[in-house]
Homo-oligomer: A and B are copies of this chain.
Amino acid sequence: MDTKTALECLKAYVRCASVSADPLYKQGLAAARDYVATLLQDAGLVVELVPTPLNAIVMAQRLGNPSWPHVLAYGHYDVQPVDPLALWLSDPFEPEVRSGRLYGRGTTDQKGPFITMLAGLMSALKAGKLALNLTVIVEGEEEIGSPSFEGFLKTHAQQLAEAHCVILSDTVSPSEDQIAIATGLRGLVALECLFQGPAQDVHSGFYGGAVVNPLHALMAVGASLHDAQGRVALEGFYEAVRAPQDWERQELARYPMTDTQLQQAAGVSSLAPCFEPFRSAQEALRFGPTLEFNGLGGGYQGPGSKTIIPAQAQAKITCRVVPDQDPASIQQAVAAALKARCPKGVHCSVTLGQSAPAYRVCPPHKTPGNTDTSVLAKAFAFADDAISNNFGRAPCFLPEGGSIPIIAAIQASTGLDAVMIGLALPQDNMHGPNESYSLAVMQRGIAMYRELFTRLGRV
């Protein structure tokens, strides 16, 4: 499939409004699912829809000689909600090309990168005999935390384990010229807490000075979770954390985004203080764990003032965890601290959310004296070459700060590691308004994937 055809395919795919968070988009989800299923069928794969409690998983296979390398390719057909809609310059579900980019919801997360991979694969298949077994899974619940994926793994782990490695494009690269292969992902644990003060909002004149304000309790407890340097103030939180290895620091040194550029991209006057064992913000966000409040609320938030001591205050917390940190222990430690540090007169209750471990893979070909001839080792080495050949520069191999919990889940249940080739760029505005996908990345990406699959399937 050439770039022009792939672009038309991508446009048709984006037109399927497949927002998984909103029940109103059921039809769009079904359309996206069917569209991707048809594409895979047209590519010659045997397609099956695996039902789940929510949105069926598309599973497609090309099984030839069992001795061939077997690649498990992953994608997701669902997208993020579109609001704030008013900020979009064009209809999020009517894709539009402007200045070398395709605009629309899902263009870069993850429909564009998936179509890029598929177009490369189809070109490779079309060009000649490919000694390559393929399993492609495309889920429809990634943007809501893949709630059905664990169940799917339970029933399909054995089948998936026949593959040799996972390949996907759902991570980020710094620029059109510099692709990154993600060698890791941070894990994620989530919690919500509720601080209950008086039985209902009470008058701050009649009770102020006598009743403990749950907003004060929340702020005191919340503030206590970090020290003045910004370190998480929980005993043992950093015990399992390790510094980047030398080769990782070398990769980071040639990564074309400095801390200053990171600061500018975030639009802040200065970055968080850096602490041992990390030497820069870039190191901290890829190799270090965090405890982050994602939302806070309580009391009166409307216009003007309201003189109350509110009944309740709430907070949403997530931690990004790194390898060797146990997410369940971290989650318990945060919950215990919230409760233990809550002052008298206020009651703190905690609801535990998701809990997913970090993922880390060491590309075998980066190890000095490597003699690994596994499909995984080849996939990494071929991807390295194919990216160098088609994007003009060797990829950076670095763990990413984000989380894709299913990658660690696949690893845990099948033993398969993943080659994660970033085709989204920081300026693509993933999850935001005016999401777009670079057509240059698409063109180079198709050629890169064609080369990667061709070499993997070379007899």
Residues of A at the B interface (CB closer than 8 Å) are 144, 172, 186, 188, 190, 192, 197-200, 202-213, 215-216, 218-220, 222-224, 226, 230, 259, 262, 266-272, 281-282, 284-285, 288-290, 292-301, 304-310, 313-316, 318, 320, 344-347, 353-354, 400-403, 426, 430-432
Contacts and interface: CB of A to CB of B under 8 A. Distances in A.
A294 B313 CA distance: 11
Given A205-B401, A296-B299, 19 more contacts: A200-B432, A205-B400, A207-B266, A207-B401, A209-B281, A209-B284, A209-B288, A210-B281, A210-B285, A211-B268, A212-B230, A212-B271, A268-B345, A269-B345, A270-B345, A294-B306, A296-B297, A296-B301, A301-B314
A402 B209 CA distance: 11
A285 B212 CA distance: 12
A87 to B, nearest CB: 10
B269 A347 contact: yes
A129 B236 CA distance: 84
Contact of A198 (B226, B266, B306): B266
Q: How many copies does the complex hold?
A: 2
A433 to B, nearest CB: 10
A353 B310 CA distance: 19
A402 B208 CA distance: 9
Contacts of A401: 205-209
Contacts of A290: 204, 208-209
Q: Which of A186, A282, A345, A402 gathers the greatest number of chain B CB atoms within 10 Å?
A: A345
A304 to B, nearest CB: 8
B199 A266 contact: yes
B301 A305 contact: no
Contact of A305 (B186, B190, B268, B307): B190
A269 B199 CA distance: 10
Contact of A272 (B212, B215, B307, B426): B212
A266 B212 CA distance: 10
Contacts of A266: 198-199, 202, 207, 210-211
Which of A213, A314, A353 neighbours the largest number of chain B CB atoms within 10 Å of its CB? A213
Contact of A204 (B288, B294, B344): B294
Contact of A207 (B190, B285, B346): B285
A293 B299 contact: yes
A1 to B, nearest CB: 31
A265 to B, nearest CB: 8
Given A198-B266, A212-B268, A353-B305, A296 B296 contact: yes
Contact of A293 (B219, B230, B430): B219
9 contacts: A210-B281, A216-B230, A219-B220, A220-B223, A293-B299, A294-B300, A296-B296, A297-B298, A297-B301
A105 to B, nearest CB: 16
Chain B CB within 10 A, most for which of A212, A354, A400: A212
A299 B315 CA distance: 9
Contacts of A186: 205
B268 A198 contact: yes
Contacts of A293: 213, 215-216, 219, 299
A200 B297 CA distance: 18
Contact of A301 (B224, B271, B295): B295
Contacts of A205: 186, 320, 400-403
B344 A269 contact: yes
A272 B226 contact: no
A267 B200 contact: yes
